[in-house]
Chain A
Amino acid sequence: MRLTLRVWRQPAPNAEGRLVTYTADDVTPDMSFLEMLDVVNEGLTEKGESPIAFDHDCREGICGSCGMMINGVAHGPMKATTTCQLHMRSFKDGDTLTIEPWRAAAFPVIRDLCVDRSAFDRIIQAGGYVSVATGNAPDGNTLPVAKGDAEAAMDAAACIGCGACVAACPNGSASLFTAAKLSHLSHLPQGQPERYRRALMMVAQMDEESFGNCTWFGECQEACPKDVSIDEIARMNRDFWMASLFERDEKVSTGTG
C-alpha cells in the first residue's frame, strides 16, 4: 500500500506548527500504525531530516503513551483500540491520513505529536487514591467485595490515561478520565471513607487544569480504547452534588473522630 500522510510538525512547545505531507510506501496490512510511522521515520532519518516525534512505549495497548488524531478520530477508525494496536489493514491503498496531536488547552504540544498530559497526574494527586500507608493493611479476605462491585470497579479502572477522551471531546473535557478513577474507587468498600471528599477535590482539580465541561456528546466514550462508559460521569456528578449539598464528607470525617 502507498499512503499520503499529512502530519503535524512542531519543533518546540511554543513554536509555530504546520501540517507537512509525506508519502509512506511499502505499507503492509499487518503493520501496526506506529510501525508504519517507524518506517517513515527511518526514511526521514536516512535523509538527514528530523523524524516525527510521537509518544509510545508498550505497543500493546496498555501503557497509554500513544495517541494521535487520525483523520479527525482519536486513535483512528477502529473502536476500542489504541493507536499502537491499530493495524494498517484498517486503511486502503491511496488513502490520505491527517495525523494531529491531541488538542486541548490542558495538553500543550511539546513536539510534533507529543503532548504534555501531566494534568492527569495532578487530578490523581487531588485525591485519586485510598489513603493507606504501606503496612497498615488487614488480611485481604477480611473485606468481602461483591463480585458485581469488583467487576464494576474494574470496568472503570481499565482506563489507561491516554487522553483520547479529552482529545475527542469538542469541549476538551476530562470528565471521563476523572469519573473513571472516581468510579473505580467508589465501587469498592475501600474507597468509601474518602468517597465524597475525593469527588469534590478531583472535580476542583479538573476545573483548575482548564479542561472544558461535559455536555454529553458521548464522543469520549466512543474514543475510549478501553470502553469506559459515560455512565461513570453520571456517577461522578451524583457524588459531587451529594458531597457539596449534603456535606457528606463532613459526616464521614466526624464519624472517624
Chain B
Amino acid sequence: MELRSNIPSGPLQQKWDKHRFEMKLVNPANKRKYHVLVVGSGLAGASAAATLSELGYHVSCFCFQDSPRRAHSIAAQGGINAAKNYQNDGDSVWRLFYDTVKGGDFRSREANVYRLAQLSVNIIDQCVAQGVPFAREYGGLLTNRSFGGAQVSRTFYARGQTGQQLLLGAYQALEKEIAKGGVTMFPRTEMLDLVVVNGRARGIVVRDLVTGAITPHMGHAVVLATGGYGNVFYLSTNARGSNATAIWRAHKRGALFANPCFTQIHPTCIPQSGHYQSKLTLMSESLRNDGRVWVPRQKGDARGPGQIPEEERDYYLERKYPSFGNLSPRDIASRAAKEVCDEGRGVGPGGLGVYLDFADAIRRLGEDTIRERYGNLFEMYERITDENPYRVPMRIYPAVHYTMGGLWVDYNLMSTIPGLHVLGEANFSDHGANRLGASALMQGLADGYFVIPYTIGHYLASTPLEPVAPDAPELRDAVRNVENMGQQLLGIRGKRTVQSFHRELGKIMWEHCGMARNAAGLEEALRLIPAVREEFWKNVTVPGSGAELNQSLEHAGRVADFLELAELMCRDALHREESCGGHFRTEHETPDGEAQRDDSRFAYVAAWEYQANGAAPVLHKEALQFENVHLATRSYK
C-alpha cells in the first residue's frame, strides 16, 4: 500500500490557499442530499457537525455520553494557542509552526502543522463571536498567558476552564443546528463497527446504550472524532469513558494506525493515592508559569517541605534547562521528574512526586493574584489531597495525558479508507512525537471548523457514491459482527471483572511502554499482553444482558480493544529504535540523558496495517520531508 499524503505542491505558506481553490465544491442545492455521520461530540466532532450542517449537509452526530456537552475536551484547563501576536512579543504563524514542529521533535508533517498555525487565528475569532468568555485586559481586549515549549505569550484562556468554554461554544453551535433540523443527535450511542462498501466508508453500526439495540446508520461519509487512547494505561488523565473502540474497529476494517507508541506523559498531575485509584487528575501546565519545581538534594529526605532550607533544594528544571526552566516541554519535564524520583529524591507517599512550589510567586505577586490566576485549580487540588497549596507546595507526578498517535490521515484528514475522515486527537497528524501545551484544543477546532468542511466537500464532489441497499452483505456482516462480540462477552461468565483486566493491562503498559522504554521491557510486554488477552476472553465476567443499560458490557468491549491496541503500541515502540518526544528509548539517549533522535533511519510516520487472524501487522512508512525547518536537536537549555 502506498501512503499518499496528498500534500499540495507549492510554497508552504500557499499550500492551503491553493488547495482550497483546487478542491471541488458541492453545489449548495446538492449538499442536503449528502448525509455525513460524525462520531464524537468533542471540540473536533461538535465543531465539524455544526459547521457541516451550516453548510447544508445532513448530519448525524453520535456520542456515548448523555449529552454532547460532556465530551472530554471539556476538561482541558490551560488554554488554546493562536498566532495572533496580540502581545507584540514576536509571535507569528511561522513561529507557531516552528514551535509545534520542534515541540513534536520533528515527527510531524510540515504542511499540516503550517495549516494548523494559520487557522489558529481564525479559531479565536470564531470562538469570540460565539461568546466564549476569554480572559480580558482592563481595556477590554483579549489577554494571553505563556505556556510550556514557547517563549511568546500566545495562549488564550478562560480561567482554568478553557476546554469547557470552547466546547460549550461548539456545543451551542451544534444545538443551534439540531434545533434547525440539520443535525440529528444520538447521545448515549456508541459506534461499534464501520461499514465499508466497495472500499469506501459508508456507515457505522452503533449500540443504543439505553436499550441495547444494535443498528446500522448509513451515509456518504464518516467522520471519526472520538479522541485518544490514553486509557490503555488504565490510569490516565482521560475521562473514564474515553476509549479507542471507534478508531480501533475502523483500523480492523482497513484504516492504518500511525505512530501508536507516541503517547504524552503530562508532568503536572496529582500523584496516585491508593490501589482503588480510578483516574489521575491533571493540574494545568499553566501552573508552571508561577510554580517552581523542586525536590530535596538529599536522597530520602523525610523532612516536610517547609523544613528544607533553600540551599538543600534542587530546582532541577531551572538547573538543567536555564532558558526554559519550569516551562520546559512536557516530555522533558516528565522525564526529569521520573529521573529524580528514580534517584530516590521523590516526595510524598511511595516517593512518587515532586514539589510544585508557589511560595516565591505568592511573595512576589501576592496571594490574591495567584488566586485569580489559578484559584479553581488550587481548590481542586485541596479537594483531592486535603492539602492547602497556598501554604504547602503541591505534590505532582507525571501521568499519561494525550496520545499523539492515531489513525493515519492524509492532508485532507482522510484515512486510508476513502470516505473515513478522522479529526482531533483520534488522528495522528499534527503533533509529531510530542504535543505542546494548549495545542490540542487548537487542533480539534481547526480540524472541525476549518479543515473538514472543505475537504469533505471535495471528497463528496469527486466520488460517485451509489446508494447502499439495506440488505447489503457488508452491512449485515458488520451488524452480525457487533452482535456476536456482545454475545461472546456476555457468554463467558468467568471469574474476573473487566476492571481487573484493565488494571492489569495498564500496569504492564505503564511499566514497559510508559515514560521510558527499552527493548527488553517491550519484548516482555509483548509476551504478557497476549496472555492477558487470552485470559480475558476465557475468564472475564460481564453481568446482565445486552438488551439494557449495561456499563460492564460497554467497558468490556473497550477493554477488549485496548488489549489489542496495547500490543500494537509496544510493537511500534520496539521498532522505533530512537528516542523522540514522548517516545524515550533508554538505549538511545545523549550522554547528558536527552532524547537521541535518529533522523537518518526514523524520519517517517509508522503506519500499521491490521491483519486478520492474529497475523502480525504490516508496517508502512510515510517519509517526512522537511523543506522549511532544519532538523535540529531539540534543546531547551
A positions within 8 Å CB-CB of B: 11-13, 28-32, 34-36, 38-39, 42, 44-46, 48-51, 53, 55-65, 78, 80-81, 85, 87, 89, 110-111, 114, 116-118, 120-121, 124-126, 128-141, 143-147, 150-151, 153-154, 157-158, 160-161, 184-185, 187-188, 190-191
Contacts and interface: CB of A to CB of B under 8 A. Distances in A.
Contact of B66 (A55, A85, A124, A135): A55
Contacts of B240: 56-59
Contacts of B449: 134-135
B147 interface: no
A129 B138 CA distance: 26
B549 A32 contact: no
Contacts of B54: 133-134
B70 A150 contact: no
Nearest to A80: B379
Nearest to B164: A62
B411 to A, nearest CB: 20
A134 B50 contact: yes
Interface string B379-414: 110011010000000000000000000000000000
B85 to A, nearest CB: 11
A2 to B, nearest CB: 15
Given A59-B239, A190-B131, A64 B69 contact: yes
B304 to A, nearest CB: 19
Nearest to A29: B386
15 contacts: A32-B384, A42-B500, A45-B499, A51-B552, A59-B279, A63-B72, A63-B75, A64-B67, A120-B67, A125-B178, A137-B122, A141-B141, A146-B140, A150-B134, A154-B158
A31 to B, nearest CB: 6
A113 to B, nearest CB: 11
Contact of A147 (B137, B158, B279): B137
A157 B165 contact: yes
A153 B140 CA distance: 13
Given A56-B240, A59-B239, A130 B130 contact: yes
B384 A85 contact: yes
Given A59-B239, A111-B549, A129-B175, A188 B131 contact: yes
Contact of A50 (B65, B141, B175, B543): B543
B131 A57 contact: no
B509 interface: no
Given A53-B549, A141-B142, A185-B131, A62 B176 contact: no
A59 B75 CA distance: 10
Contacts of B171: 124
A204 B295 CA distance: 58
B522 interface: no
B133 A144 contact: no
Nearest to B180: A125
B151 interface: no
A35 B175 CA distance: 33
Nearest to B453: A134
Contacts of A158: 159, 161, 164
Given A63-B65, A125-B176, A136 B129 contact: yes
A51 B543 contact: yes
A19 B140 CA distance: 53
Nearest to A160: B164
Given A28-B276, A134-B449, A46 B140 contact: no
A137 B276 contact: no
A172 B164 CA distance: 26
Contacts of A62: 74-75, 161, 163-164
Nearest to A117: B66
Contacts of A139: 125
B66 A116 contact: yes
B136 A128 contact: no
B70 A147 contact: no
A152 B131 CA distance: 12
A160 B185 CA distance: 19
B210 interface: yes
Size range of the interface on B?
Answer: 35 or more
A11 to B, nearest CB: 7
B541 A45 contact: yes
B541 A60 contact: no
B126 interface: yes
Contacts of B127: 140
B260 to A, nearest CB: 24
A129 B548 contact: no
Given A49-B543, A78-B383, A57 B241 contact: yes
In the complex, the 9 A-B pairs of residues with the closest C-beta atoms, listed nearest first: A144-B140, A129-B172, A137-B129, A137-B125, A125-B179, A140-B128, A153-B133, A154-B133, A30-B273
Contacts of A46: 495, 497, 541
A121 B187 CA distance: 11
Given A50-B543, A63-B74, A125-B179, A110 B380 contact: no
A51 B551 contact: yes
A36 to B, nearest CB: 8
B544 interface: yes
B135 interface: yes
A125 to B, nearest CB: 4
Interface in B29-81: 47, 50-51, 54, 65-72, 74-75
B139 interface: yes
Nearest to B372: A151
A150 B278 CA distance: 35
B253 interface: no
B278 A32 contact: yes
B459 interface: no
Contacts of B176: 125, 129, 131
Interface string B499-510: 110000000000
A154 to B, nearest CB: 4
Contact of B450 (A36, A134, A140, A191): A134
Contact of A118 (B136, B187, B274, B450): B187
B74 A58 contact: yes
Contacts of A36: 276
B139 A57 contact: no
B109 interface: no
Given A50-B543, A136-B129, A145-B140, 9 more contacts: A35-B278, A50-B552, A53-B549, A110-B549, A134-B47, A144-B140, A154-B165, A185-B131, A187-B133
